[in-house]
Amino acid sequence: MIHQSENPLQLPVLDVSQPLHSSSLSSLAAACQEWGFFQIINHGISKDLYSKIYSLSKKIFCLPSESKLKLGPFSLRKTYTPHFIASPFFESLRVSGPDFAASAQSSADVLLSEQDSEFSEVLQEYGSKVTELSKMILKFVLMTLGDGYETKYESEFKNCHGYLRINNYTPPENLEEEETEGLGKHTDMSCLTIVYQDEIGGLQVRSKDGKWMNILPCEGTLVVNIGDMLQAWSNERLRSSEHRVVFKKPLNRFSLAFFWCFEDDKVILAPDEVVGQEHTRIYKPFVCLDYVKYRESNEKGRFEKVGFTVKDFAGVVGFPMPKSENGS
Ligand SMILES: O=C(O)CCC(=O)C(=O)O
Ligand SMILES: [Fe+2]
């Protein structure tokens, strides 16, 4: 394991083509507790695959808004998030697994006139690869909890599923204010998120004492972060950190975020051995889909805004359940 040399944030870089050595495991454990973020290399996703997705997606994002809104939040498919929902400068397209090809094709069929299967083929390839990566990384993350925890994979995580969000950021025409947000601070709802960012940069993670730290792009490196589902399941031994995207320069940014999540009907409850005898349970058990709905049913929560986190939803102390949950 090597460390990124750029300032300011030094996240460990995990070589996922190698078995995990004990020194790597301890830096990974420290990063998962302190930042909830780390990076991976030798992951098998080529720049060429990313570039193909980039150019095909750009064709879609360049279409007029009226066309894209056929997939918008008020349409049947709801796969497109237009500008001004998460931020004025952000739009995204969702592609769901495990049949990424079918999901991508159904969006392409609505938007693109010429029949072409390339978009769905490249997304299937990307989706399958990042799914396998998620499984492997999740096992590594479980190992950071201690000996024997990787066995929890089979009993707890084998029904996880993933979806991809293709994110397109367009800066304001006059970028006067330094650090205009392209995507406001939020935590991810997932167990794990894997992000392929381009060379523009702008991704930041918030430290425990509230400082924004840059996660600089580095060719061949993907960013991995822990999401709320794993934070709750691990009784906060793994951290789901707030992060955001800012424009440092007036340049477009393009990223692929893959969310690896528990199945909808999973009851998330930290196992006793994860909680440990000397700790108290921080979360009440909750059904995964209820949390997703809680976030999505609320204007502020919908786009993963802080204030609608898993702790607000299921934290044990002083966090009332939302109205729909307690029947009032
Ligand atoms: O664009 C990025 O790098 C991050 C995107 C992100 O945080 C998200 O989609 O949840
Ligand atoms: Fe995120």
- Rounded-to-integer distance, Cα 18 and Cα 41, Å: 10
Other Cβ atoms closer than 10 A to 100: 24
Does ligand 1 have an atom closer than 6 angstroms to the CB of 187?
A: no
Does ligand 1 have an atom closer than 6 angstroms to the CB of 104?
A: no
From residue 29, alpha-carbon distances to 26, 142, 210, 238, 324 in Å are 5, 9, 21, 8, 37
Other Cβ atoms closer than 10 A to 178: 9
Do the beta carbons of residue 16 and residue 43 sit within 8 Å? yes
Does ligand 1 have an atom closer than 6 angstroms to the CB of 188?
A: yes
Does ligand 1 have an atom closer than 6 angstroms to the CB of 165?
A: yes
Nearest CA to ligand 1 atom 2: 255
- Which atom of ligand 1 sits closest to the CA of residue 225? 7
- Rounded-to-integer distance, Cα 35 and Cα 38, Å: 8
Residue 139 is encoded by which pair of tokens?
């096992």
Farthest CA pair distance, the chain:
62
Does ligand 1 have an atom closer than 6 angstroms to the CB of 257?
A: yes
Nearest CA to ligand 1 atom 9: 257
Does ligand 1 have an atom closer than 6 angstroms to the CB of 197?
A: yes
Distance from Cα 116 to the centre of ligand 2, integer Å? 30
Residue with tokens 């996660």: 215
Full pLDDT tens readout for the chain, 328 residues: 444 434 468 899 999 999 988 889 999 999 999 999 999 999 999 999 999 999 999 999 999 999 999 998 888 888 999 998 888 999 999 999 999 999 999 999 998 877 779 999 999 999 999 999 999 999 999 999 999 898 999 999 999 999 999 999 999 988 876 789 999 999 999 999 999 999 999 999 999 999 999 999 999 999 999 999 999 999 999 999 999 999 988 999 999 999 999 999 999 999 999 999 888 999 999 999 999 999 887 665 555 555 678 998 999 964 444 444 443 3
Do the beta carbons of residue 274 and residue 155 sit within 8 Å? no
Task: Determine phi and psi for 217, rounding to 5 degrees.
Answer: -70, 150
Output the pLDDT for position 281.
94
Output the pLDDT for position 8.
67
Distance from Cα 189 to the centre of ligand 1, integer Å? 12
> Whose atoms come closest to the Cα of 247: which ligand?
1
What is the pTM for the complete model shown? 0.92
